Amino acid sequence: MSTAELYTPQRLLYFNREPDRSIEPNIPWGPEDALRCPSTELTDSRRQLFLTEHNSRRSSLARGIQRTANGFAPKASQLYKLVYDCELEKLSQVSAHTCKYVASGYYNDFEENVYTFGRNQLTKEQSIKNAASVWWDEITNVTRQAGKPLIHDTSMTFTQMASDRNVKIGGNSGKRKLYAIGSPCKRDADCTRHDGSYCSVKEGLCNLPLPRRPRHNGADVYLHGWLSLFNGEMTKEELLISIAYFGIVSLLLTVV
């Protein structure tokens, strides 16, 4: 690590199943708390920007308006909307402290996208938008064969962002369908991958179920989800944004 002034990059983890509350009892509850994280290294507006940059693209993909090299990607039948969780922010520190500019592979259960840029070249907001664009825009170079699904290729940053079931590093025995082709959800009953899921019709995205739990005042509120944004440190000259995507396998219960 350089002795130059340290600066904070951003890091994301994605889950699409519920965490075990006996393991992580301190996660803020309810949509109103979803972005109120204790860390001051990243503002809530930037956390929300990460979400917006991803979910707007996933919505375009689900609704069949995402361009490829020779047309449009097929619609997705059950693509879930990413949601936010504060508890796991701290996990990014371990990998970030390695100061590597490539996917670390530090953990076995997620995949990473990495984006680097000069600190003085961009604002944090610009860097977040640029990272999402660079990762996602690989789809514009993909030639789609009519009637056939896109393929999940873990060497592509786009597939990490778009997969309806993110895979583990090293756990993918081969290429598979990136997502199930079909009309995007139009009602809650169309979202069957997770019990209790509901549909955002306008976005064409399914939403994870909102489990109930009592709060400080005894009132029941909802936990919105578990996309987790992480923070770490990098040198003054370079920033690193890496994004990690957890698979949705039951073995992740001890991690989630």
Would you place residue 108 in the very low, low, confident or very high pLDDT band (cuts 50, 70, 90)? Answer: very low
> Is residue 197 one of the residues assigned to a domain?
yes
> Is residue 29 one of the residues assigned to a domain?
no
Would you place residue 24 in the very low, low, confident or very high pLDDT band (cuts 50, 70, 90)? Answer: very low
> Is residue 35 one of the residues assigned to a domain?
no
> Is residue 34 one of the residues assigned to a domain?
no
Q: Is the pTM of this model over 0.75?
A: no
What confidence score (pLDDT) does residue 50 get? 78
> Is residue 1 one of the residues assigned to a domain?
no
Count, residues in the chain? 256
Instruction: Quote the CA–CA distance of 121 and 71 in Å, as a whole number.
Output: 34
Lowest mean pLDDT across 14-18, 60-64, 164-168: 14-18
Query: Could you read off the pLDDT of 155-210 as tens digits, one per residue?
Result: 577 877 887 764 222 222 234 577 888 999 999 999 998 788 889 999 999 987 76
> Is residue 26 one of the residues assigned to a domain?
no
CATH number at residue 185: 3.40.33.10
> Is residue 167 one of the residues assigned to a domain?
yes
Averaged pLDDT score across all residues of the chain: 62
Would you place residue 232 in the very low, low, confident or very high pLDDT band (cuts 50, 70, 90)? Answer: very low
Angle between helices 44-62 and 124-136 (to 10 degrees): 20
SS3 assignment for 158-190: HHHHHCCCCCCCCCCCCCEECCCECCCCCCHHH
Number of independent structural domains in the chain:
1
> Is residue 31 one of the residues assigned to a domain?
no
Range of the domain at 191: 10-21+41-254
